[in-house]
Structure 1
């Protein structure tokens, strides 16, 4: 049981730890150490509380392989249609982006060993092979994700070992911008970097024998892992490069090249980390979409496999150079799905008699803490994110 919970926490962390991590220093460095850290903690706390609201709704609704069942039981048919529409749009956008990014990495890796394939062939191969793992079930994703996450931690550790000794305190304290509007604009990038909420219904079902307290701790610990990784990476990058340098970079490749100028290992290590980050995020998101399709269409695994990957793969092939644009669309959808929908589900369920819900083995029925005040703050958090997306 404990190993399953640990693996589930790592799925939460791995889904959040996408390639967007590498861009975080580029968007936050200009505001300095204090404001960059505060903004990161603010986004993490709001996202984690919204995830706990979804956990409460999932538990009280009796679990289910996807948000389809939870939405039907809590928000009725209208809410089910809206939730499914948002969820499909989000998951398809994310999978498209990950297939595009992974296809590029696979092409470069194969070229390095003398095997030349087209971008289309690499994207198709990645989606089909990685999709087989997802179709094998949550347990298979869990076991593979544990191994991949261990390697990611090693890669991040090597990066920090290389960069920490050369950190400049002056660079950490430097801030080239004091614009709070520009700081608010970064929240969309950070929010997407904590986009793990979609895997919660699958993990509740996977850990059906766990107590509600264990499920809560699984989510909190899983969300803390990317927070710590993001902050360490932010400090290491900020300490080695000036704020002016960070702002001048046009893409992540330039950031990696600048850090690698004095640390030859950085280029290789961060390339491996990027590939693993894409793969763990792909597995988490694809698992959520696979379980959603299994819940909605009630078909066998072969049919569900096709339903899950045909649309994202087709979209990736048609939008082969739109990685960042696709992620941008996903950000706005995620605000509704990760904040407002769980809130609506929880409000509906809290209006019912608690005796109607099943307690866990310890006789406890889970309820996210904070009461009406926390719920109101969560609503304001969602409004803040929408405003940041529209500025």
Structure 2
């Protein structure tokens, strides 16, 4: 199988997930035009930051890891700084994914939210513990099904969109920036892909570009049909809950469209959960020097999945808030880290750009 294509789909699968589902909830007041402009800008920034990380990963001696990048950028304190940032980022994202998956699974099956959270975590943990190859194959299947479901959802919603609903109310975009930024937050998986593609710079750049631009196109289509189908009041009344968004889109009725929307939401969370989990798994394995044995990978799996599962169980409605806080750690990993490495290489303009965006996202999250 083509590993470059598989890597692109891991990037896309990680991207087209909880962030996509959260975008209409976060950008309802902006309208379609302004949210489109922001999505394009952040997509290009995501590609640039990822390419910078790839260059730094390739320059490392031995296998690429965020741990090694941290040591290179921050010196002796690098491991601690990156470990804290990555732990905060991954656990925030995974808590959001467990919470969102549990909410949708519980709504569709009738089981308790706690049981749904445990079931979703066990399923993803089993795949990630086996190998990256298993994640790649599983992700391809889920991604293909997700695209079919999305096509049917768009076809069902498109005839009912209203141009009036696409207009914003001139609201400042500050509060929505962390969610838009996190919607392109696949950067924690970059070292895993660098090792998977054996430091092939051309293949990595192609995978990252394709894996980012495909979600961008789908985001714009998703924004068009969701924002066009619901007025701002209906979106605000969802309170950031995925099951309420799904219910609003279907008018609370059943039928094929409702089933397709539920299926798309489930698959979007599943692929995103897989992509983030494999990055977290590899990061923790490198950080704690866990061996590639059944016992070693089992220990890493417990470190990877127990904390976000506990967060989701104690704070079941933390979907949107967890994504927002993930933006703070993502800014450190995907912007500040490559910026400091670029500064060491005297690429000051690139470094300044990344630091400026990191500051903007941080201020937006803290102000919100």
Q: TM-score, normalised by structure 2?
A: 0.89
Deviation digits for residues 353-376 of structure 1, max 9, x if unmatched? xxxxxxxxxxxxxxxxxx543332
- Cα deviation for residue 103 of structure 1 reads 2.6
- Counterpart for residue 13 of structure 2: 14
Render the CA deviation track for 1:26-83: whole Å, top value 9, x for unaligned: 3324333321211111222222212222111111114635311222244322122101
SS in 1 for 2:173: helix
CA contact (8 A) 2:235 2:245 kept: yes
**TM-aligned CA distance change 1:289 to 1:141, over 3 Å:** same
The answer (yes or no) to whether the contact 1:259–1:266 under 8 Å persists in 2 is no
**Whole-angstrom distance in 2 between the partners of 1:20 and 1:335:** 15
Note the 1:54-133 alignment, pairs <5 A.
54-62=53-61, 64=63, 66-111=65-110, 116=111, 118-133=112-127
Cα-to-partner distance string for 1:309-330 (whole Å, 9 max, x where unaligned): 2333333333334333333322
Q: C-alpha root-mean-square deviation of aligned residues, in Å?
A: 2.3
Aligned: 1:223 with 2:212: yes
> Which of 309, 329, 336 is 2:332 aligned to?
336
Paired positions, count: 360
Please report how far the alpha carbon of residue 267 of structure 1 lies from its aligned counterpart in structure 2 after TM superposition.
2.1
Does the aligned pair in 1 maintain the 2:107–2:243 contact within 8 Å?
no
Aligned equivalents of 1:124 and 1:31: distance in 2? 36
1:315 to 306, 311, 314: 311
- Residue in structure 1 matching 2:154, options 152, 160, 176: 160
| Structure 1, unaligned runs of 5 or more | 352-370
Aligned equivalents of 1:319, 1:28: Cα separation in 2: 24
Are 1:281 and 2:275 an aligned pair? no
> Which residue is equivalent to 2:293?
none
Q: Secondary structure at the match of 1:64?
A: coil
Summarize the Cα distance change of 1:125–1:83 in structure 2 as closer, same or farther, 3 Å threshold. Answer: same
1:186 is paired with a residue whose SS is helix
Alpha-carbon offset, residue 129 of structure 1: 2.8
Structure of higher CA gyration radius = 1
Instruction: Note if 1:297 corresponds to 2:253.
Output: no
**1:63 and 1:204 in contact (8 A); partners too:** no
Residue matched to 1:202: 192
Give the whole-Å Cα distance in 1 for the aligned partners of 2:352 and 2:237.
39
- Identify the range of structure 1 (101-110 vs 158-167) with the bigger mean alpha-carbon deviation: 101-110
| 1:332–1:7 CA distance, 2 compared to 1 (3 A) | same
Report which stretch shifted further, 290-299 or 72-81: 72-81
- Given the alignment of the two structures, is residue 390 of structure 1 paired with residue 366 of structure 2, yes or no? yes
Structure 2 residue aligned with 1:193: 183
CA distance 1:103–1:259, shift in 2 (3 Å):
closer
SS at match of 1:195: coil
Contact 1:64 1:295 in 2 (8 A): no
CA distance in 2, matches of 1:20, 1:142: 20
Residue in 1 aligned with 2:145? 151
Question: What's 1:178 paired with?
Answer: 170
Between stretches 122-131 and 84-93, larger displacement belongs to 122-131
8 A Cα contact 1:58 1:201, kept in partner: yes
Q: Distance in 2 between matches of 1:204 and 1:236?
A: 36
Q: Please name the residue that 1:44 is paired with.
A: 43
- Equivalent of 2:224, from 216, 235, 243? 235
Q: Give unpaired runs (5+ residues) of structure 2.
A: 291-295
| Distance in 2 of aligned mates of 1:375 and 1:188 | 20
